[in-house]
Amino acid sequence: MAFLVVGGPGSTNSNPVLDLFTFVSGSLTDVFSAKFKVFDISDETKKALFFGGNKNDVQVFPVAPGIFFSLDVDNLATDIVTPGHKLSTGHYYAPFTPVDGAPSGDYIIQWVYQQTDGGPELHFCEEFVLIEEGQIVTGLNKIEKCKLFMIDLVSKNDLCEEVEYTDQQYVFACELVISKWNCTTPCSNNTAENFPSACEYLLCLGVAAMLMRSTSISQLRNQLTYTDGNIHIGITDKHRDYQNASNTYFAEWERMVRAKKNEMNNDSAWGDSDSPYLSVGYSYYTTGGGGAGWGGG
């Protein structure tokens, strides 16, 4: 995930934080045209506007809502006379610098490009983060890690073009998984803040299973199948797929949690102990039992 500093250097030809690669059949290929705009989704209200279809209300660049910034895709950025936005074949950057006072948090850049003149417009979205000057990025929080584990990103959700689950759903699923963890004997009192860092995979796996189980309920409730001519069409007909995925993930989760809890229980009951061979070896070597060359004999 890309990061930019509020009031700091933006995305430039020498610092192409926001860039686009265009491929044809696996090879980088120049495009006929490319443009972009940036949206601010740094809080829940703005996210609701963006994902609710009111994207123009949270567009921050260009300032005019609905307008794209068109790239110069013909000239290289290093061209002294006519510098463009092309870095190399099939590689372009977005000239975007956060304004002073811009709120820190999540943003989305939307790219639209055409491979050929008159060809279809291709869309690509990517999320990035604005951070405050001096802020140290120490890593992703648990919700962000769960999103990456699920690959629940706008740029990867081709059918819905938005995230599948809200932050509130991730938080709630996380709470349920930790509650399930705490209720597994030996019982514990972990929270999202002190959940064992060595068990983050378990948390991500459990959250994925919990969200998919929840979605399977919604899919079943809204399932509709109809026929148009000879074409059979299903709407929200993935109940069984989500349910099977959830069951698979939960089965792995429960096996690993049981093993981990047993390990924690054993460590709590017995603690650390020295091997009995330690005293045997100590006596052997200190009494000269090792023969010539080992003791004082």
CA-to-CA dists, residue 111 to 65, 81, 148, 155, 199, angstroms: 15, 26, 21, 10, 37
Could you report the per-residue pLDDT of 63-81, keeping only the tens digit for each? 999 999 999 999 999 998 9
| CA–CA dist 65, 59 (Å, integer) | 6
Could you report the per-residue pLDDT of 39-66, keeping only the tens digit for each? 999 998 999 999 888 999 999 999 999 9
Sequence ranges of the domains in the chain: 2-136, 139-289
Could you report the per-residue pLDDT of 168-219, keeping only the tens digit for each? 888 899 999 999 999 988 888 988 878 887 788 889 999 999 999 998 888 8
Rg for the chain, CA atoms, rounded: 28
Q: Are 157 and 108 in contact (CB under 8 A)?
A: no
At residue 141, does pLDDT exceed 60?
yes
Q: Are 32 and 114 in contact (CB under 8 A)?
A: yes
